[in-house]
Amino acid sequence: MNKNVLQIETDFSDSDFKIEWDKVRYIKSDQTFIIFSSNGNHFDGSIKMDDADTTKAIVYNGSQQVSLDLNEIVFIKEVEQNFLGRLSLELSAGYTLTKANNLNTLSIRSYIGYLSKKFSADASFNLVRSVQEEVDPTRRTEASIGFRNIIKNDWFGLISSNLLQNDEQKIKLRATTSAGVGNYIVNTNKIYFGAAAGLAWNNERYTETPDDDKNSLEGFAGLEVNIFNLGDLDLLTYFNVYPGITEKGRVRTDFSFDLKYEFPLDFFINLGFTHNFDNQPVEGASKGDYVFQTTVGWEL
């Protein structure tokens, strides 16, 4: 169960059953699950409805039993022994052809996530390529990898690395490695709202002025909102700010907004907007760059 939807796989159905969590009246399974509650605690074990009080479920972990209100449970995932069983995957792509000046634009987005009892990991890749007659090709590539260690009571530690290649800002490669702590301020079956803060090391290489290549220490603070109890709609947005420490007065920001509409058979269409800002860009480069993307994809 994730984002207020319980998904059930059976041997006799071509597709999985999906039920809104607040409409579940009884649940029981002897499988082992990772179960998250709204206060950030997580439990490992099988699950069964409390026969004496059907507003509660009991999680069995060996000889221990934990009683949880159904509306406190925000996430359930079967713990499989094989690696592939713990993965989640999204792939999407979009293509635009405009007759005027023979403009071709290709967008590719991908995401992969892994969940264990103690930590979660994810990686993403986002590519935009535009080719137009009598104009130099435009390239933009983003990639990231991150790890979150579950602490307690909605607190987590994080470390991540983000890569950016951006022609508009003359960035050959920007590699930002961040480490810090975060907290899910709101964690329910309708919305996740989290905040994080820490330090970041920024390494930049430029396309036209290699003498300006730099390394710098920055602080970072970020907000993330995921709203998902909107029928087939899923909204995810985040905002990160990086104030310079070794580069006084410099401030960078990253903003992302994604709206996903889900179709049957795990297909979806995604509308995305990404914006990067730097108040002290390299000479001749733009302070800001943004991209709109519309892609169609499939998720596992």
pLDDT digits (tens, 9 = 90+) for 153-197: 778 899 999 999 988 888 999 999 999 999 988 877 778 899 999
Q: Are residues 94 and 130 in the same domain?
A: yes
Q: Are residues 126 and 51 in the same domain?
A: no
Domain end, chosen from 79, 102, 125, is at 79
Q: Are residues 111 and 224 in the same domain?
A: yes
Q: Are residues 75 and 92 in the same domain?
A: no
Global pTM reads: 0.77
Q: Are residues 67 and 109 in the same domain?
A: no
Q: Are residues 214 and 284 in the same domain?
A: yes
Is pLDDT larger for residue 110 or for residue 212? Answer: 110
Q: Are residues 68 and 89 in the same domain?
A: no
Q: Are residues 147 and 55 in the same domain?
A: no
Sign of the C-alpha dihedral computed for residues 20, 21, 27 and 29 taken in this order: positive
How many domains is the chain built from?
2
Domain holding 19: CATH number? 2.30.30.100
Domain end, chosen from 79, 94, 127, is at 79
Q: Domain range holding 72?
A: 5-79
Domain holding 145: CATH number? 2.40.160.40
74: pLDDT confidence band, cut at 50, 70 and 90? confident
Q: Are residues 48 and 149 in the same domain?
A: no
Domain end, chosen from 49, 79, 109, is at 79
Q: Are residues 66 and 90 in the same domain?
A: no
pLDDT digits (tens, 9 = 90+) for 78-123: 766 556 666 788 999 998 777 666 778 899 999 999 877 677 899 9
Residue 74 buriedness (CB in 10 A; 0-12 / 13-18 / 19+): buried
Q: Are residues 68 and 158 in the same domain?
A: no
Q: Are residues 188 and 264 in the same domain?
A: yes
- How many percent of the chain have pLDDT more than 70? 95
